[in-house]
């Protein structure tokens, strides 16, 4: 996410002819390695409570920097993927001479993830 935000900041700044002398993006997330263990069954095992901070140095005006920041938030693909998660559908096809839960080998098995 850091590299994506950095790259989008640079692209959007160039498009707007906003000079950037220094740019650094810091991303943080919570992750508890005890997740899923006894007593911690309800703790998420994926990174969560994600935050990011931008350190920027520029001769641009405050309004230009705020406009740049908004443009980055509007178009950064990874930021938007995390902020607005899509629904995910999958399928699984079981091949081979395996009988899995009464399924016939080679017959497509459709699985829908919620």
User: What's the domain range around 35?
Assistant: 2-86
Sorting pLDDT into bands at 50, 70 and 90, what band is 56? very high
Note the pLDDT of residue 72: 98
Is pLDDT of 79 > 60? yes
Summarize the confidence of residues 69-85 as an average pLDDT. 96
Does residue 23 sit within a domain?
Answer: yes
Structure tokens at 101: 């839960």
Checking 31-36 for CB contacts under 8 A at 24+ apart, the result is none
Note the pLDDT of residue 107: 55
Q: CATH number of the domain at 70, please.
A: 3.30.300.20
Note the pLDDT of residue 92: 76
Summarize the confidence of residues 20-24 as an average pLDDT. 98
Checking 5-9 for CB contacts under 8 A at 24+ apart, the result is 5/52, 5/54, 5/72, 5/76, 5/78, 5/79, 8/72, 8/75, 8/76, 9/54, 9/56, 9/68, 9/72
Between these two residues, 3 and 91, which has the higher pLDDT value? 3
Is pLDDT of 61 > 90? yes
Interatomic CA distance for residues 83 and 89, integer angstroms? 19
Look at the chain and report how many structural domains it folds into.
1
Does residue 17 sit within a domain?
Answer: yes
pTM beyond 0.85: no
């Amino acid at each position: 996410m850091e590299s994506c935000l950095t790259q989008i900041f640079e692209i959007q700044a160039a498009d707007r002819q906003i000079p950037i002398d220094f740019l650094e993006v810091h991303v943080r997330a919570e992750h508890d390695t005890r997740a899923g263990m006894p007593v911690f069954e309800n703790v998420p095992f994926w990174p969560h409570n994600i935050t990011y901070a931008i350190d920027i140095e520029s001769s641009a005006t405050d309004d230009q920097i705020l406009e740049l920041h908004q443009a980055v938030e509007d178009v950064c693909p990874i930021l938007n993927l995390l902020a607005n998660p899509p629904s995910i559908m999958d399928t699984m096809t079981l091949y081979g001479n395996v009988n899995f839960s009464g399924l016939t080998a080679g017959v497509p098995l459709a699985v829908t993830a919620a």
